[in-house]
């Protein structure tokens, strides 16, 4: 997906800074999150596709960054966004320390189906979260497509005692999600689609197939704020706006989506700055009393210097950004 017009590449690169944010605990197999942040006429923006993504997929993330930096965001309908805590695939005895980083959050998203772990690890982790949050807390689990249908059905039964709010992307394929949804319908545990939206050639297929009850929306992978809002409107399903483990600048892009949605039924997954031990701004977008104020943070030069990536990583990322820009440029030329 490309924007209808692109600023000159020189304008994008003029303020571009490559940063590396340390994580408090391993997440998605990494201990450091890298990103490129740069400033457009509308403010600071972010390009941070995961390093394993190819240029074609990463170009959509750059389209989102350009859209956020060079186009006004829709008017907000709310001034603050309730957010969830995010619990990586840690051991049960580490759960309390993770939750302590998320001030006042009434909802927790717990990672499950981690490579190298077994269902008993997931059950222990979710049990620890329920014990920490009490009966009133809300728990959702995220498998990142890690189970087949039979494994997912077994896992849902094992985890159902913890009163799940929903289960996110239990299986990788849309057809699998539809089959699982039929199998577990009597349990009244909704299925949320994430990868089946943001990594799909047709992000609306999961909604048309009746394979999910709600969508997890991430601004960067979908091409930006306006594209994400259009997708939610077309899908006709409730949406949870979530993070792609962004810096606070990228999180503000997600906040713009959440703030502009006509309906916001669920706490959003935008509290992930709490997983970092450093950020690009002096006051990171970490939850206070379980919510984030809708805002657009501005980094300082000193702050960017503190989290600057090593020279070889800076060069890699700027080369990657340039390649993705050329792909967008070619799309604009063809369009």
Taking the C-alpha atoms of residue 108 and residue 228, their distance in angstroms, rounded to an integer, is 23
| Helices and strands, counts by H and E, the chain | 12, 12
Taking the C-alpha atoms of residue 4 and residue 332, their distance in angstroms, rounded to an integer, is 6
Binding-site members for Mg(2+) are 142, 168, 194
R_g over Cα of the chain: 19
Binding-site members are 142, 168, 194
Q: Could you give the dihedral angle defined by the CA atoms of residues 149, 83, 202 and 60, in that order, rounded to the nearest 10 degrees?
A: -130
**Do 269 and 255 contact (CB within 8 A), yes or no?**
no
Taking the C-alpha atoms of residue 217 and residue 259, their distance in angstroms, rounded to an integer, is 13
Active site residues: 111, 218
Question: How many angstroms separate the first and last alpha carbons of the chain?
Answer: 11
Which class for 21: exposed (0-12), middle (13-18), buried (19 or more C-beta within 10 A)? buried
* Closest of 228, 225, 208 to residue 216, by C-alpha: 228
Taking the C-alpha atoms of residue 322 and residue 314, their distance in angstroms, rounded to an integer, is 12
């Amino acid at each position: 997906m490309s924007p209808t017009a692109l600023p000159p590449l020189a304008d994008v690169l003029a303020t571009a800074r490559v940063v590396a944010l340390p994580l408090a605990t391993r997440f998605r197999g990494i201990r450091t999150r890298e990103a490129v942040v740069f400033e457009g006429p509308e403010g600071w923006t972010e390009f941070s596709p995961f390093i394993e993504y190819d240029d074609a997929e990463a170009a959509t993330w750059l389209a989102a960054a350009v859209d956020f930096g060079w186009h006004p965001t829709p008017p907000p309908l709310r001034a603050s966004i309730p957010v969830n805590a995010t619990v990586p695939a840690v051991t049960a005895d580490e759960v309390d320390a993770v939750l302590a980083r998320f001030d006042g959050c009434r909802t927790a998203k717990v990672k499950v189906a981690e490579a190298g772990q077994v269902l008993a690890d997931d059950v222990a982790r979710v049990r620890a979260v329920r014990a920490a949050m009490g009966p009133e807390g809300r728990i959702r689990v995220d498998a990142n497509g890690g189970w087949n249908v039979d494994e997912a059905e077994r896992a849902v039964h094992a985890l159902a005692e913890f009163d799940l709010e929903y289960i996110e992307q239990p299986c990788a394929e849309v057809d699998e999600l539809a089959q699982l949804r039929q199998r577990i319908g009597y349990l009244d545990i909704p299925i949320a689609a994430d990868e089946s939206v943001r990594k799909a050639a047709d992000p609306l297929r999961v909604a048309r197939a009746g394979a999910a009850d709600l969508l997890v929306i991430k601004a960067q992978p979908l091409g930006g704020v306006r594209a994400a809002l259009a997708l939610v409107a077309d899908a006709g399903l409730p949406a949870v706006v979530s993070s792609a483990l962004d810096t606070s600048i990228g999180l503000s892009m997600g906040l713009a989506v959440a703030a502009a949605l006509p309906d916001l039924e669920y706490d959003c997954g935008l509290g992930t700055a709490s997983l970092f031990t450093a950020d690009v701004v002096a006051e990171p977008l970490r939850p206070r009393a379980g919510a984030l104020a809708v805002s657009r943070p501005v980094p300082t030069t000193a702050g960017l210097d503190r989290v600057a990536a090593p020279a070889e990583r800076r060069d890699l990322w700027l080369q990657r950004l340039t390649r993705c820009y050329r792909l967008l440029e070619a799309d604009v030329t063809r369009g």
